[in-house]
Amino acid sequence: MNTNELKELSEKIVEEGKAFKKKVCVCCGAGCLSSGSEAVLESMKQTIKDKGLESTVQVIPSGCMGPCNQGPLVKILPEETIYEKLDGDAVEALVDDHIVKDTPQEDKLLFSEYRDKPFVDSREDPFFKRQKRIVLENCGRINPESIEDYIGVNGYQALAYALHRSSPEHIIGEIKLSRLRGRGGAGYPTGFKWETVYRHVADQKYVVCNADEGDPGAFMDRSILEGDPHRVLEGMILAGYAIGATQGYAYIRGEYPAAIKRFEEALKQARKKGFLGRSIMGSDFSFDVEIRIGAGAFVCGEETALLASIEGKRGTPRPRPPYPAESGLWGKPTLINNVETFANIAPIVISGGTAFGEVGTPKSAGTKVFALAGKVQISGLIEVPMGTNLRDIIFEIGGGIPGGHKFKAAQTGGPSGGCIPEQHLDHPVDYESLQELGSIMGSGGLIVMDETSDMVDVARYFMEFCVDESCGKCIPCRVGTKQMFDLLTKIYEGRATDIDLATLEQLAHVVKDTSLCGLGMSAPNPLLSTLRFFKEDYIQHLKDSALANV
Amino acid sequence: MPDKITISINGTEIKTEEGKSILSVCKENDIHIPVMCHFPGLTDVGACRLCLCEVKGYNKLLPACTTLVAENMEIQTHTEKLKEYRRVIVEMFFSERNHMCSICVANTNCELQDMATEVGMQHVRFPFLNQECAVDASHPKYVIDHNRCIMCTRCVRVCSEVEGAHNWDVKNRGYNARVISDFDQPWGESETCTSCGKCLNVCPTGALWAKGSVQGKLDKFPEKITDLIEKRGIH
Ligand SMILES: Cc1cc2nc3c(=O)[nH]c(=O)nc-3n(C[C@H](O)[C@H](O)[C@H](O)COP(=O)(O)O)c2cc1C
Ligand code: SF4
Ligand code: FES
């Protein structure tokens, strides 16, 4: 397929879409699937057929819409009305009311239990109003298993532009201009990484997509892959073109069978249409992608461990330098980026780096997807401009703390991050400000805690995770995390003294400074940040032990 | 010919060549850096963290064994912070499994014991984890006592890189990680072990030894293995 054919196909798809008066998207994201959306989809298809509406109403399964706890969700376009908590039996009445009689069913509208007057146009609801969707723009609106749907929303236009009207240098230049930073946690500038790999001369280079997502409670990358797999794939192909690679690997967690299936399907469709494989879109650029399935070890998300795993070795990290950009898969220059990073590429190529950089803060451009969870009224998948403050995320988007409880801490970055107290809620969320607060952006986990949470217990929970997930290669992490966990347990159970607390703190610094990879280096973060902002919780436990020993 | 470069170690200027590790440059210049997982001639893995150095311009400590020197590098090998960290690391080793020297075959011939003296360890500030570890004496000639193992993986590497047998590997994660024979079978049932004994000679502690070894009188010939590697031109 060449550029003109793509354009014609895209126009044709859009035209065909216009034949339908309405588009009904049934959310088949992980959350909605688990609450029974498959039955809703079947029932919806059947009802539309039975009522003879097939020629005017299109029904599709879609990716995640965001408010995962309210599922199964159904969104009706073009009016953007979302209905919640549906089941197969509710579908007929809904179709009768909303579609046939054109009167929305108030009591089934999204967030009807929280809002005095729920919104018929979901975009007006505070949950969506504060968000900005770049990465998730197609998620929940297209059928992830249909390449035509993706082409209908300008899919593969960025690739066509790159191949026929641009150059690798120009694409890298745009990525640099955009100031995009890696969404996998560390926030390394993506354009510089691409340029480094581009500059290394080698007979073979590789592109790797890190879809290992092992943080407890995180499901950003999963939702992107399940909801818009072609977007990620297009980003990978563009990367291959820019750095001069011919082979890509997507390393996807085995626990994500739907993501694997949909990505596999996307690969097949893209090959068939000539976006993947030999002479892509009639150019002299060839590139293909294979899936590698991870076995669920958190450490395999660390880039060098991931590469070892792809090579068929035990998934343990190795010291860097050399960085993968210089010596990665089988010793060849390798570009490794996160799923969300790749999902940002096509929009940058289409709208230009400068325009992309207008969203966000000077140092952190664009948006960030978060998995909002814990003690908030509304949890789920959200995407906000970088620089949005935590207070807005938790109280506006998340609707605040339920049950009349008081906010205590926001945890970002999972087991590698920290806990942010009330007095810092107005800090804009970006890489630097979170780091200043002893936390990290991480891949996007955001857990809200209320005053019933004991921060010693929180630190202990994350430390236990690191003990279990430490690969065991280097001594500070292998033994240090276990010793810190035991000390935290001792404090938690009221058996500790001041000396234990001092030992714990010293150990935390040694493990942070001497561990081989990011897992060990950041394992003390939850502990150190709770010690910094919630020392009173620790003191209380020490007092309890002093009393117990009287 | 590798490029000639100038670096500085502990404030002294040193002329050397690109492509060498910090550790090997230190060795050539009689600067002693403590090492545990490093064994001359085997691939370095950077696991024991004892050789960590401070390098100007890096916000992380870098292992001397795996970090290559570069023009104008400024390296510190023995700052107070590094010495303190090394002491804590050795304490972690002692706390991990059973390292009671008085009842160990390797007593007085043990790199871990020597390391404790070198870094000035006086006590272990952490509770002993008292892990239950197996002793496998199924091999006709040799014994592996996991209680003494510090997971340096020298045996794994010598077996695969020098003997080419790859009997040894690692199973499990974190502090549950263990060295295994073949697919976690008793050593005596290994189909790959050639009984060459190389692993015994590179083991820094009393984890691997020949049957009949007497407490405090363990024979080890690590230099023979190094010699062999050099003569065969491996690497
Ligand atoms: C223990 C550990 C786990 C990690 N897990 C992930 C992960 O699941 N997904 C990811 O994209 N990056 C993960 N990373 C970060 C990667 O090492 C790497 O920095 C990232 O994939 C680079 O992509 P980016 O530049 O697009 O962020 C992890 C790092 C560490 C230390
Ligand atoms: S820091 Fe932990 S996970 Fe990383 S290499 Fe060391 S033991 Fe393995
Ligand atoms: S000798 Fe360098 S880390 Fe062990």
CB of B63 shorter than 6 A to ligand 3: yes
Q: Is residue A165 part of a domain?
A: yes
Give the pLDDT score at B2: 79
CA B122 – CA A293 distance, rounded (Å): 47
Q: Are residues A152 and A231 in the same domain?
A: yes
Provide the edge-to-edge strand list for the sheet that holds B208-210. Answer: B135-136, B142-145, B208-210
Q: Whose CA is nearest to atom 25 of ligand 1?
A: A182
Q: Do B46 and A297 touch (CB under 8 A)?
A: no
User: Is the pLDDT reported for residue A299 higher than 90?
Assistant: yes
User: Is the pLDDT reported for residue A17 higher than 80?
Assistant: yes
Q: Are residues A372 and A421 in the same domain?
A: yes
Q: Do B89 and A514 touch (CB under 8 A)?
A: yes
**Residue at a domain's end among A356, A379, A413:** A356
| pLDDT tens string A306-358 | 999 999 999 999 999 999 999 999 999 999 999 999 999 999 999 999 999 99
Give the pLDDT score at B214: 84
User: Is the pLDDT reported for residue A362 higher than 70?
Assistant: yes
Q: Is residue A223 part of a domain?
A: yes
Give the pLDDT score at A427: 87
Q: At what angle do helices A220-227 and A257-273 cross, to 10 degrees?
A: 40
Q: Is A499 helix (H, G, I), strand (E, B) or coil?
A: helix
Sequence-distant (≥ 6) Cβ neighbours of residue B77 within 8 angstroms: B9, B10, B26, B31, B33, B53, B64
Q: Is A429 helix (H, G, I), strand (E, B) or coil?
A: coil
- Range list of β-strands (E), chain B: 4-9, 12-17, 52-55, 62-63, 74-76, 135-136, 142-145, 168-171, 178-181, 208-210
Q: Is residue A6 part of a domain?
A: no
Q: Are residues A250 and A175 in the same domain?
A: yes
What is the residue-wise DSSP string for A139-152? TTTS-TT-HHHHHH
Average pLDDT, integer, range A355-365: 94
Q: Are residues A205 and A322 in the same domain?
A: yes
Q: For ligand 2, what atom is nearest to the CA of residue A469?
A: 3
Contact A238, A162 (CB under 8 A): yes
CA A393 to centroid of ligand 1, rounded, Å = 24
Q: Are residues A459 and A440 in the same domain?
A: no
In this structure, what CATH number is given to the domain that contains residue A377? 3.10.20.600
Instruction: Report the b/e string of B100-131 with b at 16+ CB within 10 A.
Output: ebeebbbbebbbbbebbeebebeebbbeeeee
User: Is the pLDDT reported for residue A437 higher than 70?
Assistant: yes
Q: For ligand 1, what atom is nearest to the CA of residue A303?
A: 17
CA A383 – CA A174 distance, rounded (Å): 23
- Which residue, chain included where needed, has tokens 């995320």? A393
Closest to A133 measured CA to CA, from A227, A270, A206: A227
Closest to A449 measured CA to CA, from A441, A437, A458: A458
Give the Å distances, CA to CA, from A60 to A40, A54, A143, A145, A405: 11, 12, 6, 10, 40
Pairing, β A22-27 against β A74-77:
antiparallel
Q: Are residues A460 and A446 in the same domain?
A: no
In this structure, what CATH number is given to the domain that contains residue A479? 1.20.1440.230
Q: For ligand 3, what atom is nearest to the CA of residue B38?
A: 1
H or E stretch covering A479: helix A475-492
Q: What domains sit in chain B, N to C, each tagged with a CATH number?
A: 4-78 (3.10.20.740), 101-232 (3.30.70.20)
Q: Which residues pair with B71 in a beta bridge?
A: none
- Which residue, chain included where needed, has tokens 């850096």? B33
In this structure, what CATH number is given to the domain that contains residue A250? 3.40.50.11540
Out of B63, B96, B125, name the one closest to residue A479 (CB): B96
CA A52 – CA A245 distance, rounded (Å): 50
CA A339 to centroid of ligand 3, rounded, Å = 34
Average pLDDT, integer, range A189-218: 95
Q: Is residue A79 part of a domain?
A: yes
What is the residue-wise DSSP string for B60-85? S-EETTTPBP-TT-EEES--HHHHHH
User: Is the pLDDT reported for residue A143 higher than 70?
Assistant: yes
CA distance A244 to chain B (A): 27
| pLDDT tens string A450-489 | 999 999 999 999 999 999 999 999 999 999 999 999 999 9
User: Is the pLDDT reported for residue A550 higher than 80?
Assistant: no
User: Is the pLDDT reported for residue A548 higher than 80?
Assistant: no
H or E stretch covering B25: helix B22-28
Q: Are residues A90 and A107 in the same domain?
A: yes
Give the pLDDT score at B217: 83
**Dihedral-angle region of residue A364 (phi above 0 means left; psi in -120 to 50 means alpha; beta otherwise):** beta
Average pLDDT, integer, range A377-386: 96
Average pLDDT, integer, range A29-45: 95
Q: How far apart are the first and last CA of chain B?
A: 17
**Residue at a domain's end among A450, A477, A505:** A450
Q: Are residues A119 and A167 in the same domain?
A: no
In this structure, what CATH number is given to the domain that contains residue A35? 3.40.30.10
Q: Are residues A326 and A349 in the same domain?
A: yes
Q: Do A469 and B169 touch (CB under 8 A)?
A: no
- Range list of β-strands (E), A8-145: 22-27, 57-62, 74-77, 81-83
Q: Are residues A331 and A376 in the same domain?
A: no
Q: Are residues A333 and A291 in the same domain?
A: yes
Give residue A180's domain range.
147-356
What is the residue-wise DSSP string for A297-326? -GGGGSHHHHHHHHTTS------SSSPTTT
What is the residue-wise DSSP string for A204-227? --EEEEEE---STT--HHHHHHHH
Q: Is residue A8 part of a domain?
A: no
Contact A348, A201 (CB under 8 A): no
Closest to A61 measured CA to CA, from A84, A88, A93, A29: A29
Would you state the structure tokens that stand for residue A501, as one six-digit string? 């607390």
Would you state the structure tokens that stand for residue A47, as one six-digit string? 């009802």
CA A431 – CA A443 distance, rounded (Å): 11
**Dihedral-angle region of residue B174 (phi above 0 means left; psi in -120 to 50 means alpha; beta otherwise):** left
Average pLDDT, integer, range A386-415: 95
Contact A205, A243 (CB under 8 A): yes
Residue A144 identity: P
Would you state the structure tokens that stand for residue A286, as one six-digit string? 């060839």
CA B143 to centroid of ligand 3, rounded, Å = 26
Domain count, chain A: 4
Contact A343, A224 (CB under 8 A): yes
Q: Is residue A395 part of a domain?
A: yes
Q: Do A478 and B177 touch (CB under 8 A)?
A: yes
User: Is the pLDDT reported for residue B235 higher than 70?
Assistant: no
Give the pLDDT score at B234: 65
Positive or negative torsion for Cα A33, A37, A38, A41:
negative
CA distance A542 to chain B (A): 18
The ligand with the least distance to the CA atom of B62 is 3
**Residue at a domain's end among A404, A424, A450:** A450
Task: Please state, rounded to an integer, the average pLDDT across all residues of chain A.
Answer: 95
User: Is the pLDDT reported for residue B233 higher than 90?
Assistant: no
Q: Is residue A405 part of a domain?
A: yes
Instruction: Report the b/e string of A499-511 with b at 16+ CB within 10 A.
Output: ebbebbbebbebb
Q: Is residue A185 part of a domain?
A: yes
Positive or negative torsion for Cα A218, A219, A225, A231:
negative
Q: Are residues A163 and A231 in the same domain?
A: yes
